[in-house]
Structure 1
Amino acid sequence: MPVEPDAADTGQNIAFSRRVLAGAGLRPASVMLATMPSMQRRGYATTRKVWPEVEVVCACEPVAFRDSLVGIGDDRLVIDTMVGDPQRIIEYPDRSFAVEQHVPDDVHTAYQALVKAGCTSRLIGA
């Protein structure tokens, strides 16, 4: 199976993977994204923007929040990374990086509270 080794971000990974598959004569009707749990929505939205003609299925290993903290070993990094994903879901459509998605009010409120609490190291522009 061909491998895409050159991407620097999610959008490039999808675009470059599409190119690798096309180069191998493969034109899938659907793709599966294997992501971290907190990144599924962003991965989906990015794929829909970069490769709109495929059906997108997201998959991840079910990981409890506490297990994410223990597995990575840096509680603040995990939380800051999780705060960065909704920011990208909100902002990337305006930058043409992803399709627009509805962000529920309670998610938006929690995101704003975490930013105000200083969980900002993984935000765009941080």
Structure 2
Amino acid sequence: MISEQSWADARVLWDYHQMHHELRPCSVAIGLGSHDLGVADTAADLYKRGMAPLIVFTGATSPTTRERMPRGEAVHYRERVLELGVPIHAVLVEPKARNTGENIRLSRALLAEAGVSVTSVLLISKPYEERRAYATARALWPEVDIVSASARTTFDLYVNEIKDTRLVFEMLVGAVQRLLTYPARGFMIEMAVPSDVTAAYERLCSAGFTGRLA
């Protein structure tokens, strides 16, 4: 049983992780691989709305996705958007990345190899990965504008859709830890972490939601 305090703390982290950027057309959309096919659904929607002429899906597999997406996250994402009506010529796949840094570096290399000029990136992630993804992209690709995007949903709806509450809580906690520790290692830019977010993070760690700590 998850306590009311832990639910309240998780909502604090959820709100913090979202960047609330105003969407605008970009050179390319990059969908970051994960267990959540909602990233692909969001990419398809934004493509149809004219927010990017090209989508790159990036991601291999992880312990979380090996059984759900045996052909690799990026490949499953591509299959999803093709089912949703995105033309095959508008989708590139980067199938090797195993972390957010590799997502950015390998997608950047793929686009350069394809001769795609990039001045702005619509960076599509899970709702609770927006800030981490943004901070990583700003560190590794500083010369382009980054617009963060994710599925527009509420915390409660998202937990119900994923059907694994503990996984979501642990992902929320793990993303905060990386925002606190990775800038010193050069993996992402530093971003302010308000005291209420730090306090909620520490309580969730104490409550045992530590499965995604690095």
**TM-score relative to the length of structure 1:** 0.94
5 Å-filtered alignment, 1:110-121, equals 110-121=200-211
Q: Quote the Cα distance in structure 2 between the aligned partners of 1:2 and 1:85.
A: 27
Q: Quote the Cα distance in structure 1 between the aligned partners of 2:164 and 2:150.
A: 21
Q: Quote the Cα distance in structure 2 between the aligned partners of 1:8 and 1:18.
A: 15
Please list every run of 5 or more consecutive structure 2 residues that lacks an aligned counterpart in the other structure.
1-90
The match for 1:92 is 182
Count residues with an aligned counterpart. 124
Q: Quote the Cα distance in structure 2 between the aligned partners of 1:27 and 1:116.
A: 46
- Among candidates 128, 133, 144, match of residue 43 of structure 1: 133
Q: Quote the Cα distance in structure 1 between the aligned partners of 2:110 and 2:122.
A: 15
Measured after TM superposition, the shift of residue 26 of structure 1 is 1.4
Contact map agreement 1:2 1:24 (CA 8 A) in 2: no
5 Å-filtered alignment, 1:1-126, equals 1-124=91-214
Q: Quote the Cα distance in structure 2 between the aligned partners of 1:10 and 1:63.
A: 22
Larger radius of gyration: 2
**TM-score relative to the length of structure 2:** 0.56
Higher alpha-carbon deviation: 16-25 or 65-74: 65-74
Q: Quote the Cα distance in structure 2 between the aligned partners of 1:18 and 1:27.
A: 10
* Amino acid corresponding to residue 83 of structure 1 in structure 2: V
After TM superposition, what 4+ stretches of structure 1 lie above 2 angstroms from structure 2?
A: none
State the identity %.
46
Please list every run of 5 or more consecutive structure 1 residues that lacks an aligned counterpart in the other structure.
none
